[in-house]
Structure 1
Amino acid sequence: MARWIESWLPGASPAAAGPYPGERLGLPAAGVSSVAGFGRRLGALVIDWLLAYGIAALLTGPGALEDPNLGWYVLGVWYLITAVPVAVFGASAGMVALGIRVASLDSAPVIGVPRALLRTAMIALVLPPIARDEDGRGWHDRATRTVVVRSRART
């Protein structure tokens, strides 16, 4: 994918831009099944986290914000509403909202329960998603042989 400045420089060709994220994995450069960007992934995480916060507050009842264990409740709810749908459907609610999904590198339709549990636990540790490789995959994706891809074309 060409950088924005190359679009108006004379003699610059898109091919000179080098490899794109996902090329080594056999994924397209753009469109459906291309590697999802960090912004979409972060947005999906925020949506899931806010959803978990709301559910935890409802389960905790009145005075939820004063409960010293609310953070642990939010983490537990987030873990469930992320790991279970990713294992079964390939995407959490936030991922569906932003048009991305978790794909297995071994061409399985979904990643399954063990890999979804490990992947979600590693995301909860914060550092694995931040340390990314040239394909945009964090340690959690590398450990579970997965990649987050776009599930629909740009709108």
Structure 2
Amino acid sequence: MNHSPPGWNAWNPPPPGPAPYPGPPHRAEPPVAGFGRRLGARLIDYTLLTMFAFMFFIVTVLVNPASLQGGEPQDGFYDAWAYLILFGWGVLLFFYDWLFHIAGGRTLGKMMVRVRVVRADGSRLGQGQTVGRALLFGLPQCLLCVGHVFTLLDCLWCLGDEGRRTLHDRAAGTIVVRD
């Protein structure tokens, strides 16, 4: 007695069954950037911004003859530059971060270490996110000592965070990923 379905035998294999359901498409998540890459990118950015600020200072002194009176700087010349350096650094960082992140999700330092900033869902950054992220990172540095301590704690936050996100990343809903 043959218990096989009709048409089956030792020489004819059974017909294929229905294809298994593949499930939802799997989207590979880019790997999150670690603290070392992020620190390297910031050091590169700070170096470039310092060089830019220094060149701006030199060009301003050379181009503006009113800054020199008889070969000597006028009253308040050094004070003005000191205030600009002490309190203007945060504003410079704000504009640098905002403009580069809205243009392509990365600063020059991030380009060099091959990381970028994206939304938490992996999509491109929006204007509000870039402004908020840059505000929270850059502008506190306009406050002497307190602002720099806040920024240090903000950046070190990612060491204890499961998703390697800083406070300014959490506030803006962004992550930094490797390319």
* Residue 110 of structure 2 is aligned to residue 95 of structure 1: yes
* Residue 166 of structure 2 is aligned to residue 138 of structure 1: yes
Q: For 1:116 and 1:57, how far apart are their aligned partners in 2?
A: 26
Q: Residue 105 of structure 1 contacts residue 147 of structure 1 at CA under 8 Å; is this kept in 2?
A: yes
Aligned counterpart, 1:79: 94
Among 117, 137, 150, which residue is 1:123 paired with?
A: 137
Aligned amino acid, residue 171 of structure 2: A
Question: What is the CA distance between 1:65 and its match in structure 2?
Answer: 8.7
SS of corresponding position for 1:101: strand
Structure 1 residue runs of 4+, over 4 Å off? Answer: 62-66
- Structure 2 vs 1, CA of residues 55 and 74 (structure 1 numbering), >3 Å: closer, same or farther? farther
* Residue 52 of structure 2 is aligned to residue 55 of structure 1: yes
- Structure 2 vs 1, CA of residues 85 and 52 (structure 1 numbering), >3 Å: closer, same or farther? same
Q: Residue 95 of structure 2 contacts residue 134 of structure 2 at CA under 8 Å; is this kept in 1?
A: no
Deviation digits for residues 23-62 of structure 1, max 9, x if unmatched? xxx865xxxx200010110111111111111111222234
Question: What is the CA distance between 1:106 and its match in structure 2?
Answer: 3.2
Question: What is the CA distance between 1:93 and its match in structure 2?
Answer: 0.4
Among 36, 43, 48, which residue is 1:39 paired with?
A: 36
Deviation digits for residues 80-122 of structure 1, max 9, x if unmatched? 22211111201000000100000112343x2122211211222
Deviation digits for residues 108-145 of structure 1, max 9, x if unmatched? 3x212221121122223403222231111111111111
Question: Structure 1 regions of 5+ residues with no counterpart?
Answer: 1-25
Q: For 2:89 and 2:52, how far apart are their aligned partners in 1?
A: 8
Aligned amino acid, residue 89 of structure 1: G
Q: Residue 100 of structure 1 contacts residue 148 of structure 1 at CA under 8 Å; is this kept in 2?
A: yes
Give the number of aligned pairs: 121
SS of corresponding position for 2:116: strand
Q: Residue 52 of structure 1 contacts residue 74 of structure 1 at CA under 8 Å; is this kept in 2?
A: no
Q: TM-score, normalised by structure 2?
A: 0.59
SS of corresponding position for 1:81: helix
Q: Residue 55 of structure 1 contacts residue 77 of structure 1 at CA under 8 Å; is this kept in 2?
A: no
